[in-house]
Chain A
Amino acid sequence: MTRFVVRRLASAVVLLLVLTAIIFLLQAVSPGDPVKAFLGNNASPAAVAAERQALGLNDPLPVQYLQFLTNLLHGDLGMSFRSHRSVTSDLAAFLPATIELVTVSFVFALILGTIFAVSGALRWRGSAFYRGPLLVLATAPPFLLALGGIVIFYAQLSWLPASGQGADTTGPTGFLLIDSIVTGDPGTWGVAWQHLILPGVVLAIAPAIAIGRILRSSLESTLQADFVRTAESKGLKGHVVIARHVIRNSIGPALSMAGLQLGFMFAGVVVVEQIFSWPGIGNYLANSIPVSDFPAIAGVTLVLGTIYIIVNAIVDVLQTLADPRLSA
């Protein structure tokens, strides 16, 4: 297991280095001028030229890249041209909101996907009325779902808020749900949940279907397996058979898909954060791209890449634990 983890870590480092090199290359061929983001659009060419020199943007690309890597080793991702703050502190400010949203959304996806799968596999009465709308919603692009959700639940029904987190994070972790508990503020906790529901559900629907479909198919094939019939014929109760035998033997592919979807959710959070004005790294990235704020773009890419790699590594480990044959 240790060798497996070390191997995954080494490949992750190489992958991230390649990722940063690609971003650097893209920056070099991009015709954009990030210094305007730093100084402002009306800045004179003379001021822009002086600032470009000061920011080291006139250095040869390999020199800039080496400098970037050296700084990275010291935990310094550079300064955002747009916010004039260190990218590290920007990410520290924005990342908790994204992690909170994706985590809640992932839990929603697991719940919705499991109900979808189990209700389908076990032929629950009336389950089509749940699966049908979920399938329909999953075919809609996230921005349309988001706007539809806002129009219905915010503008028309006034049931849910439509933008932001609803409160400021003043606690130690940066996660509003946790900080509000730590600081003993149930009001903020409730407000935070209200603001999480719409973006959380919008982000969860497509992954829920992906996870649910795999789990359902896996459950159906397991339900037909000989060992299940044997367990039933031995007189074990239905729920015991399902809990002990069916789910354990069906969970592998769903786990793999859930890990994949979790990675995709971090990548897909940009659109949802934009529409719901969610102060996370997706929104930060969306604001940085149009002005070629390279340090910010590279920082977000590194973080998202790292999360993706870590999630997949964890899924691999969990799969190995669930089915020891995979580690062979």
Chain B
Amino acid sequence: MSLSPNRNRALRGVLVALAVSSMITLTACAANGPQKPNPAPTDGVLTVGLLNDIGQPPDPDVYYANNGLAIVLNTYEGLVQYQNNVDTRQIAPRLADSWTVSADNTVYTFSLHPGVTFHDGTPFTSDAVRQSFERRLAVNGGAAYMVADVSSVDTPDDLTAVVTLKNPNAAFLDYLASPFGPKMESPTALQANAGADNAQTYLQTHDVGTGPYELTGAIVGSKYTLTQYPGYWGTISPFTSVELPVFSDVSALQLAIDHGDVSVSVANLPSSSLPKYQNNPAFNSDLLPTFQAALVLTNPSKEFFSTKESRTAFLQSIDQQKLVDQVLGARSEPATTLYAKGMMPDGLDKQNLSFDPTVMAAYAKTLPTGTPMVIGYASDNTNAQQMANIVAADMQADGVQASAQSFPTSQIFGWANDPTQGPDAFIDGNNGADGGNPYMWGHVFWDKTGGINYFQCDDPSTDADLNAAVLTGDNALFARAAQTYSATGCYMTLSNNKDWVVSQKWLQGVPQSQNIGANELDFSKLSISK
């Protein structure tokens, strides 16, 4: 029997309607998420969801990106780190129990923790400090600059390392505390697996650190596995193994969290999902401090923003509160400082940009009708996209033919070679320096030799102040550098962003395992609630 064409069409219509309504119902169920907590694992496995592959190999002298720090920071340790669970910049001990700094900031003497061993059993001594610094220079990755100024590492005894710099540098401890800072590596393992590339091939799938976990599986693009190091000198967590599956789609990751297949996810979910988890009894939703911020940058190489006045008028028209409320939500707060929150003592680096859209509106009236303006955002940042759309709409209300445009990451970094190829303005949804020292922030964002000054907007007096301040750590000089750069109208700190960590209800210790500089968790400090 066959159906007539009419009945066939009718049947198809019914099926479409059924399919659509089922999809809507099921999606609505998924959107609200489960309300009942998922059970805790009984096999000692913590599952940490990664959004996209880590990209570069988890070699601490090579890795200079984002989510792979979950692996680097749990397999390796540095001499110092930022203090966990505080919202200001405080250097804390890690493999060094204590340290002294010479008055001129050139000699740093570290007392090392006794009884520490690398994962291959080699004892951690001051000679490992020297060799780890040397390898970082030899590999010459993106963060090699942190030890480039080291003139010598003396080892008067096994537990004392004396680092002498060629020039004074008050930011050196921040370099060491940075998640990208030099990590201690087993000299024995490095030598045994040196090959022709300083063991870089070996460290793609192994680790040579002292951290609480060993890298025991690395299937690029699929999954990484960490296994607890039984000889670890610090806290031992109940998680004997950590699996880090790679998700290439955020919705799939979110569903895996809802389903209980992922225990915890750090800074991966979009702000639009905040309401779903914040008051959900099945999950913990922690908003933790970072040195990260959203930024607004103007391009002085473009006709629209060729004058300081036009740039400042635009920045004054940015309604920080509105963007935070409508887009970023509770994970952010409007920024009031020029450096990231927590870097400088209160008020010294105050951002003196008062919200006043009338200035831009007046400026827009002087422009020919329909003058175009492009507001760029990174194609992988949905928050930035929404903010760019809102700002573009505000500009249109002023009579400017503004549009928001997406750019891939590689293109964004290419603007520094020719800023005229960039948009008129750029909204950076989330960015940060390598560490918490004001010099690190000012240098990368404001100095054109820094690395993230996309539009090469440079002010020589700012650079001079930053370069002078880093010699002594003079906060007044850092503050002056910030104010002079702010006066260029090229830069605005839009919001201070937090790490949003979503975890299963049974997971305990998330705030205690995070620090303001790391943007990742120390898995050894996590546990299962009773």
Interface residue ranges, A against B (CB under 8 Å): 30-34, 36-37, 39-48, 50, 82-85, 90, 93-94, 123, 125-129, 132-133, 135-137, 147-148, 150-152, 154-156, 158, 162-165, 168, 273-277, 279, 283-284, 286-287, 289-292
Q: Do residues B55 and A163 form an inter-chain contact, with CB atoms below 8 A?
A: no
* B220 beta carbon closer than 8 Å to chain A: yes
* Contact string against A for B residues 12-30, beta-carbon threshold 8 Å, 1 for contact and 0 otherwise: 1001100100110011011
Q: Do residues B451 and A155 form an inter-chain contact, with CB atoms below 8 A?
A: no
Stretch from B98-106, B407-415, B467-475 that touches the partner: B407-415
* B1 beta carbon closer than 8 Å to chain A: yes
Q: Do residues B15 and A133 form an inter-chain contact, with CB atoms below 8 A?
A: yes
Given A31-B414, A33-B410, are A274 and B248 neighbors across the interface (CB < 8 Å)?
Answer: yes
Of all chain B residues, the one with the shortest Cβ separation from A128 is B3
Q: Do residues B57 and A290 form an inter-chain contact, with CB atoms below 8 A?
A: no
Tell me the smallest distance from the CB of A37 to a CB of chain B, in Å.
Answer: 7
Q: Do residues B248 and A286 form an inter-chain contact, with CB atoms below 8 A?
A: yes
Of all chain B residues, the one with the shortest Cβ separation from A139 is B16
Task: Select B248's contact among A40, A165, A277, beta carbons within 8 Å.
Answer: A277
Q: Do residues B12 and A163 form an inter-chain contact, with CB atoms below 8 A?
A: no
Task: Select A34's contact among B57, B63, B410, beta carbons within 8 Å.
Answer: B410
Given A47-B145, A155-B255, are A290 and B55 neighbors across the interface (CB < 8 Å)?
Answer: no
Cα of A129 to Cα of B433 in the assembled complex, Å: 59
Cα of A154 to Cα of B200 in the assembled complex, Å: 39
Of all chain A residues, the one with the shortest Cβ separation from B56 is A84
Task: Select A279's contact among B64, B221, B259, beta carbons within 8 Å.
Answer: B221
Cα of A277 to Cα of B128 in the assembled complex, Å: 39
Q: Do residues B65 and A162 form an inter-chain contact, with CB atoms below 8 A?
A: no
Given A132-B8, A150-B251, A163-B245, are A31 and B62 neighbors across the interface (CB < 8 Å)?
Answer: no
Q: Do residues A36 and B26 form an inter-chain contact, with CB atoms below 8 A?
A: no
Docked complex: B239-282 residues within 8 A CB-CB of A = 245-249, 251-252, 255-256, 258-259
Q: Interface range on chain B: under 10, 10 to 19, 20 to 34, or 35 or more?
A: 35 or more
Tell me the smallest distance from the CB of A90 to a CB of chain B, in Å.
Answer: 7
Q: Which residues of A contact B200 (CB under 8 A)?
A: 84
Given A43-B64, A44-B145, are A275 and B204 neighbors across the interface (CB < 8 Å)?
Answer: no
Given A40-B56, A123-B1, A151-B30, are A47 and B142 neighbors across the interface (CB < 8 Å)?
Answer: yes
Cα of A290 to Cα of B29 in the assembled complex, Å: 33
Q: Do residues A42 and B410 form an inter-chain contact, with CB atoms below 8 A?
A: no
Of all chain A residues, the one with the shortest Cβ separation from B262 is A163
Tell me the smallest distance from the CB of A253 to a CB of chain B, in Å.
Answer: 22
* B141 beta carbon closer than 8 Å to chain A: yes
Given A47-B145, A84-B62, A162-B252, are A123 and B2 neighbors across the interface (CB < 8 Å)?
Answer: yes
Which of B23, B142, B256, B410 counts the most A-chain CB atoms under 10 A from its CB?
B410
Cα of A36 to Cα of B452 in the assembled complex, Å: 11
Given A42-B142, A279-B219, A279-B222, are A32 and B408 neighbors across the interface (CB < 8 Å)?
Answer: yes
Q: Do residues B452 and A41 form an inter-chain contact, with CB atoms below 8 A?
A: yes
* B379 beta carbon closer than 8 Å to chain A: yes
Cα of A11 to Cα of B55 in the assembled complex, Å: 36
Nearest first, the 5 A-B pairs at minimum CB distance are A40-B64, A32-B410, A40-B142, A43-B142, A279-B222
25 A/B residue pairs, CB under 8 Å, sorted by A: A34-B410, A39-B142, A40-B56, A44-B142, A47-B142, A47-B144, A50-B140, A85-B204, A90-B220, A93-B219, A127-B2, A128-B2, A128-B8, A148-B23, A151-B23, A154-B259, A155-B258, A168-B217, A168-B223, A273-B248, A275-B251, A276-B249, A284-B221, A290-B379, A291-B55
Docked complex: B55-106 residues within 8 A CB-CB of A = 55-57, 62-65
Which of B16, B252, B434 counts the most A-chain CB atoms under 10 A from its CB?
B252
Q: Do residues A42 and B452 form an inter-chain contact, with CB atoms below 8 A?
A: yes
* B380 beta carbon closer than 8 Å to chain A: yes
Q: Do residues A41 and B223 form an inter-chain contact, with CB atoms below 8 A?
A: no
* B44 beta carbon closer than 8 Å to chain A: no
Cα of A41 to Cα of B433 in the assembled complex, Å: 10
Q: Which residues of A contact B26 (CB under 8 A)?
A: 148, 151-152, 155-156
Tell me the smallest distance from the CB of A174 to a CB of chain B, in Å.
Answer: 11
Q: Do residues A83 and B15 form an inter-chain contact, with CB atoms below 8 A?
A: no
Given A151-B26, A155-B255, A290-B409, are A33 and B452 neighbors across the interface (CB < 8 Å)?
Answer: no
Q: Do residues B221 and A40 form an inter-chain contact, with CB atoms below 8 A?
A: no
Q: Which residues of B contact A33 (CB under 8 A)?
A: 410-411, 413-414, 416-417
Q: Do residues A40 and B219 form an inter-chain contact, with CB atoms below 8 A?
A: no
Q: Do residues A44 and B449 form an inter-chain contact, with CB atoms below 8 A?
A: yes
